[in-house]
A and B are shown apart, each in its own frame.
Chain A
Amino acid sequence: MCSPAARSRTLLAALALGAAACRGPQSALDPAGRGADRIATLFTIMAVGAAVVWLAMVALTVFAVRVHAAPRVERRTALFILGGGALVPTVVLTALLVYGLALLPELVAPAPAGSLRVAVTGEQWWWRVRYPGPDGRTVELANEVHLPLGQAADLRLDSADVIHSFWIPSLGGKLDMFPGRTSRLALWPTRAGRYRGVCAEYCGASHALMAFAVVVEPRAALDRWLAHQSEPARPPTTPLGARGAALFLADGCGACHAVRGTPAAGTLGPDLTHVGSRHGLGAATLPNDAGTFARWITHPESLKPGVHMPAFGMLPPADVRALAAYLEELQ
């Protein structure tokens, strides 16, 4: 048996754990953007309101059964039931509905003109991300979205195959992505940091492995990042990386993947021009290192069931290491 002190320590630890689960890069309860803030407030009001109603109901039950267990006056009881069972809920729910609906215009309002525009296409099971580049041309990358701190971003969402749903819980609400239709979502981040977005609509075998990294940073830092992303890939500097670069073309990787600045110009899979700089691999579900690249090249199916990429396990291990080194160098 635990002592009372030990028991209270355990309880405290559990509470702390519970509270910690509310923080983190992917939590609607720890808002870092205007939309998420409104939604978190709405959630708090709803949760507190529900708790008050529940406590009141429990108190009434205890009162009726334990404190004043005696016959009631029928007429007063009928009035009480009518008031407490119909009138009060109608008033409370109407108030909550009006409050909730009043939030909607702000949540669905498009971003003001001139906001940074980001196009995101959901594909089984990754995200194709396009930014307007500094020179006016589109910069394509994958599975990573950078958003300006304190400014609105105008996200244009669509899908290449099935219905997906774009959700960065820390920054705002979710919005479905439909093939053949572009939806608009405005996000207004208010706290710099790294967050995590996910697909919130079941979209196939690897739906749960379809995430993306989100970075909120001051506009100047974002512009520097975007300028870097818009550059062609730098040639590899190590001999192993250089061998990997040649193998990348020789083995036909460029059929599906683009590495700008090289003949590889495939469009079926993610653009890999700066893949080494990303916060994670396999749609932000795996660490970004040479070992993961090698596993992905040889056994993509074991890391992402149903993936379109064929396995290249037949390549000699030395070639796989060189390819992995090259990809890691694509900073």
Chain B
Amino acid sequence: MRRHWKKLLAAALALGALGMIVAVSGVIPVRASGGHWAVTEWLLHFAMRRSVATHSMGTTAPRLDDPAMALKGAVHYDLACSPCHGSPAQRSPRLARGMVPPPPYLALTLGQWDQAELFDIVRHGVKFTGMPAWPTAGRDDEVWAVVAFLRALPRRDAAAYERMVRGDTAVTVVSAEVPSLVVDNCGRCHGVDGRGRAPGAFPALAGQRVEYLLASLEAYARGARHSGMMGPVAAELTPEERVTLSRYYSGLPALPATEGGDAAAIARGAEIARRGVPGARVPACASCHGPGGVERNPRHPRLAGQHAAELALQLELFRQGVRGGTSYVHLMAPVARGLTRSQARDVAAYYASLAEPR
């Protein structure tokens, strides 16, 4: 019995040494040009499908039928995903054809995955492929927005896709004074007019203070404010470009948000904005964010006319403790935690309804 174990041990050591020799020799090709053997490809794919199925167990999808949600995912898809996965306009990007495994054209393969599985792939990426994990933690809302768009993707023709991912930058005649970055990037979500594309899917930037816009772009760029969508975009901008863009949007005329809120909710929100909720240690929002005749620190964002959905989202991120930002951001988290969700919606409705020029 003892001799038996010794033999086994010797065989294992010999096998390990052989493996090391093969690896050190470098004879195994890692060249993508060669592709996988059919059996390797099948095995890897099978293991990946099983892993995604197992790890997405217990994930429940939120409601994904909000058109604003799919719109949010659409622009990100076009900027970040389509270079590999293609789009109705360019089904098979030339560069991606050389990848092993080749990135699938999602409109044709999505049917194999349920929503939780798609979330798992977009959120965590896939090892041994080119699929990266979501750039930041804590922003599952953004990941779900991409999933919402993916569910809508197969039904789009090329023209509809273009409308979805380019917004008014595709159709408006843009004056030469508009920075090209706005036309090619920022404007696709925030609008060339800075209103944020309807229906409240993206924050309005028009008339926002230049100091706040610039500080926020810098926070996105260094990862202090968390977003898988804004972070990579902001990080690619040069400091001069950040200044140009902040000035451009700050200089645009602000308009009141168009979505009409429930009058009772607006009244409740106005009360909270003016007096806070002392019992819950919530100070008056207006002390930092207006409205009111006092000159305020330009690092405090103006909220008047911002889309209600955007304000409610930011309050929710503050509540969850995942809303980073400028060096002033720590002031907000305890305030947002003091508000109930319905109070947060009321305050959002109030500020969205404000027609005060910013």
Contacts and interface: CB of A to CB of B under 8 A. Distances in A.
A311 B330 contact: yes
A252 B297 contact: yes
A13 interface: no
Nearest to B332: A310
Contacts of B295: 246, 249-250
Nearest to B285: A255
Contacts of B300: 252
Q: Interface size for chain B: under 10, 10 to 19, 20 to 34, or 35 or more residues? A: 10 to 19
A263 B330 CA distance: 24
A104 B218 CA distance: 66
B288 to A, nearest CB: 4
B23 interface: no
Contacts of A246: 295
B283 interface: yes
Nearest to B300: A252
A64 to B, nearest CB: 66
Contacts of A238: none
A263 B283 contact: no
Given A310-B331, A314-B328, A266 B294 contact: no
Contacts of A251: 288, 297
B176 to A, nearest CB: 37
A314 B276 CA distance: 24
Contacts of B330: 310-311
B300 to A, nearest CB: 7
B327 A250 contact: no
Nearest to A249: B294
A266 B300 CA distance: 18
A52 interface: no
Interface string B137-178: 000000000000000000000000000000000000000000
A168 B331 CA distance: 35
Given A246-B295, A310-B330, A310-B334, A255 B288 contact: yes
A267 B277 CA distance: 10
B155 to A, nearest CB: 48
A250 B276 contact: no
A7 interface: no
B296 interface: yes
A64 B297 CA distance: 83
Interface in B232-286: 276, 278, 281, 283-284
A268 interface: yes
B281 A250 contact: no
Interface string A254-281: 1110000001101110000000000000
Contacts of B283: 252, 255-256, 266, 268
B294 A263 contact: yes
A221 B15 CA distance: 97
Contacts of A267: 278
A255 B297 contact: no
Interface string B293-337: 011110010000000000000000000000000011011001000
19 contacts: A246-B295, A249-B296, A250-B296, A251-B288, A251-B297, A252-B287, A252-B288, A253-B287, A255-B276, A255-B284, A256-B283, A263-B292, A263-B294, A266-B276, A266-B283, A266-B287, A310-B334, A311-B330, A314-B328
Given A252-B283, A264-B287, 20 more contacts: A247-B297, A249-B294, A249-B295, A250-B296, A250-B297, A251-B297, A252-B287, A252-B296, A252-B331, A255-B276, A255-B287, A255-B288, A263-B294, A266-B276, A266-B283, A266-B287, A268-B281, A308-B281, A310-B334, A311-B330
8 closest cross-chain pairs (CB), A and B: A255-B287, A255-B283, A252-B288, A314-B327, A252-B287, A249-B294, A250-B297, A254-B287
Interface of B: 276, 278, 281, 283-284, 287-288, 292, 294-297, 300, 327-328, 330-331, 334
Interface of A: 246-247, 249-256, 263-264, 266-268, 308, 310-311, 314
